[in-house]
Structure 1
Amino acid sequence: MAKVEVKQLLEAGVHFGHLTRKWNPNMAPYIYMERNGIHVINLYKTVAKMDEANEALSKIAASGRKILFVATKKQAKDIVAEKAANVNMPYITERWPGGMLTNFVTIRKAVKKMAMIDRMKKDGTFLTLSKKERLQVDRLRSKLEKNLGSISEMTRLPGALFVVDTMREHIAVKEAQKLNIPIFAMVDTNCDPRDVDYLIPSNDDASKSIDIIMTQVTNAVAEGLAERKSEKSAGDDAKKAKETKKEAVKEAPKATLEPAPAETDTTPAPVVENAPEPKVAVEATKDAVKEEAPKKAKADDLTKIEGIGPKAAEALTNAGMGSFTDLAKGDADKIKEILTEASSRMAHLDPTSWPKQAQMAADGKWDELKEWQDNVKGGVE
């Protein structure tokens, strides 16, 4: 993926902040200077933070989780809708529906209602209604399509939230914080960066600025999706090869499997007393086992557990809980202690249900885990 240069950001006006009197003091580390009463953002820090955010977004996309894009301001909605649709990700560009995340079950019911209306039109039930009822149903369908049409394929809570202007979308940010969903955002000089897990200091008001940042972000997501697709195809090819090999063994004639008996020599073999054991073969076998052992110890993708983000997964892996089996055996208090030691920003996470989810993942009960995650809000029972 081609990295964006500071010159490109400068030409797009990403460096323009708000008036100095409207600034948030917590944004001081990302402000370069003040000119004509307006703060100027340090674009070198913007590039560094963007690379960090893109790497995390690529990992989330590669894990198969959805990333929800949120932008309801006029100059951002069309750009965000276009870019998010290109990578097949859900987005909200109209009014944020209250409880979109914290009351996701109810939102899903509204989406299912939309699908039910479509079925009525296909099977002819819609034509049996009166003219007034048909008009009401059509109005309801268009309203649902406008507000929730873009998230109709999002069957579970998203793996991350990307926000343009955290001040305007403060409700979405609060809901994501409550459910421990990682937040990525374009943060201007009037916003509080402490509310965001991965911030990109940038101008969130100019359409050119939003366009160039969204292009970089969606390219990173597309890269993650491509990686997932290649891994999946490689796995399918390996599976097919294995099945082909099994079939070939079954179809092979028995004669080839049973070698013809060789002419036996009746002369008895000489008996050697205190014959030494073949140490070379034994040692070679031990070395082979030692070489294979580290290959088997591979960390699982802990971000599939509801409530675990990339940073939390990294902290748990470093602490020796890199697999679903290890996490299932872990204690919630111990996990909390590990997260707090790794970063004070993860102290608010609630790992109570993580061992339970990890046990389902370790047992390969993915359908059961998905159903549990859909019914439970943010992995908190």
Structure 2
Amino acid sequence: MPAITMKELLEAGVHFGHQTRKWNPKMKEYIFGERNGIHIIDLQKTLKLFKEASRFVAELAAANKTVLFVGTKRQAQEAIAEEAKRCEMYYINQRWLGGLLTNHITIQKSIQRLKELEAMSQDGRYEMLTKKEVGKLERERKHLEQNLSGIKEMHGLPDAIFVIDSNNEEIAVREARKLAIPVVAVVDTNCNPEQVNYPIPGNDDALRAIRLFTSKIAEAVLEGRQLAAAQATDQERLEAEAGLAEGGVPGASEPGENGASAGYDAETGSVSAMDGEAEPGPTRYTM
């Protein structure tokens, strides 16, 4: 699993929470203390829970399942898109469209519309329209592209979602919970960790912290796939070896008539019967 160190967490400022007056009491067990009116997150808890979350993500990837990366706040948009693309997963980094999970059929219709508009812009159909009509279609296409480009090839529901800031992505978390889709989320001191299946206590506002968590989750996906590929290769090798064992060694003796097997004596150059009645030898004459 991808390793994350205490040094990395400290350098990224993962331990800095929100102002103490903005805290969620349900985060109490993950808070180490407070400094200058700011809650300090217990990074030992972060290490432990991140390990559990990354193991879960890796197991999903190894089983060829999908994870939807979600982060629409300004600080998260770039990291979410880049890391999701790197591990070939889907993402939402602009506006979360209500019903994206719970009304997936309607969202799929919007995706089909986007693909249709893209095809029209490339196959010459725009040339048959007026500038006003083309402008209207292009505005529609750009709007759909902005919101749906990260899930354009996602044909079904994801098997899990990874979220930066469960408060900011409250609708996404709620929809996932309604459909029993597991949620992995970075939760700051103002969040409710009980709303997610795999909470990762940490700063969900700092760019470096967001980049760190997102890149490590992407690495968990990649490592899970690599593990699955290695296991598949080992399985193929074992099956090939088993097939050779069942087929026998090439050139082995085969039974002759009456169940006898022929044996060859290299020293005398003669063939003898094996596992059956002995063949009569040559007649000897005495002078």
TM-score, shorter chain, exceeding 0.5: yes
- Please tell me the residue identity of whatever aligns with 1:178: K
Q: How does 1:192-203 map to 2 (within 5 A)?
A: 192-203=192-203
Q: How does 1:56-67 map to 2 (within 5 A)?
A: 56-67=56-67
Identity %: 44
Distance in 2 (alpha carbons) for counterparts of 1:110 and 1:173 = 22
Shift of 1:238: 7.0
Q: How does 1:1-381 map to 2 (within 5 A)?
A: 1-234=1-234, 241=240, 259-260=256-257, 262=260, 265=277
Can you list the C-alpha shifts for 1:38-74, whole angstroms capped at 9, x where unaligned?
Answer: 1100000100000010000111111111111111111
Please identify which structure carries the higher helix content: 1
Do the aligned partners of 2:166 and 2:187 also contact (CA within 8 Å) in 1? yes
* Cα RMSD, aligned residues only: 2.6
Change (3 A) 1:166 1:2: closer
Distance in 2 (alpha carbons) for counterparts of 1:157 and 1:66 = 9
Instruction: Tell me the TM-score normalised to structure 2 length.
Output: 0.82
Name which of structure 1's ranges 39-48 and 111-120 shifts more when overlaid on structure 2.
111-120
Can you list the C-alpha shifts for 1:125-164, whole angstroms capped at 9, x where unaligned?
Answer: 3433333222222222221111101111111100101111
Equivalent position SS for 1:40? strand
Equivalent position SS for 1:157? coil
Change (3 A) 1:112 1:234: farther
Distance in 2 (alpha carbons) for counterparts of 1:119 and 1:209 = 39
Distance in 1 (alpha carbons) for counterparts of 2:60 and 2:108 = 22
- Please tell me the residue identity of whatever aligns with 1:113: R
Change (3 A) 1:2 1:89: closer
Change (3 A) 1:238 1:134: farther
Distance in 2 (alpha carbons) for counterparts of 1:229 and 1:118 = 35
Distance in 2 (alpha carbons) for counterparts of 1:201 and 1:234 = 38
- Please tell me the residue identity of whatever aligns with 2:129: L
Shift of 1:200: 0.4
Distance in 1 (alpha carbons) for counterparts of 2:67 and 2:229 = 17
Distance in 2 (alpha carbons) for counterparts of 1:115 and 1:35 = 52
Distance in 2 (alpha carbons) for counterparts of 1:21 and 1:129 = 58
Can you list the C-alpha shifts for 1:221-256, whole angstroms capped at 9, x where unaligned?
Answer: 1111212333445566678x59x98xx99xx9xxx9
Equivalent position SS for 1:166? coil
Distance in 2 (alpha carbons) for counterparts of 1:236 and 1:130 = 59
Equivalent position SS for 1:69? strand
Do the aligned partners of 2:2 and 2:220 also contact (CA within 8 Å) in 1? no
Instruction: Tell me the TM-score normalised to structure 1 length.
Output: 0.62
Shift of 1:16: 0.4
Do the aligned partners of 2:31 and 2:40 also contact (CA within 8 Å) in 1? yes
Distance in 2 (alpha carbons) for counterparts of 1:52 and 1:76 = 22
Distance in 1 (alpha carbons) for counterparts of 2:198 and 2:205 = 19
Q: Which runs of 5+ in 2 are unaligned?
A: 261-272, 279-287
Distance in 1 (alpha carbons) for counterparts of 2:28 and 2:81 = 31
Q: Which runs of 5+ in 1 are unaligned?
A: 267-381
Larger Rg: 2
Equivalent position SS for 1:34? strand
Do the aligned partners of 2:49 and 2:199 also contact (CA within 8 Å) in 1? yes
Distance in 2 (alpha carbons) for counterparts of 1:259 and 1:88 = 60
Distance in 2 (alpha carbons) for counterparts of 1:19 and 1:55 = 31
- Please tell me the residue identity of whatever aligns with 1:219: E
Aligned to 1:341: none
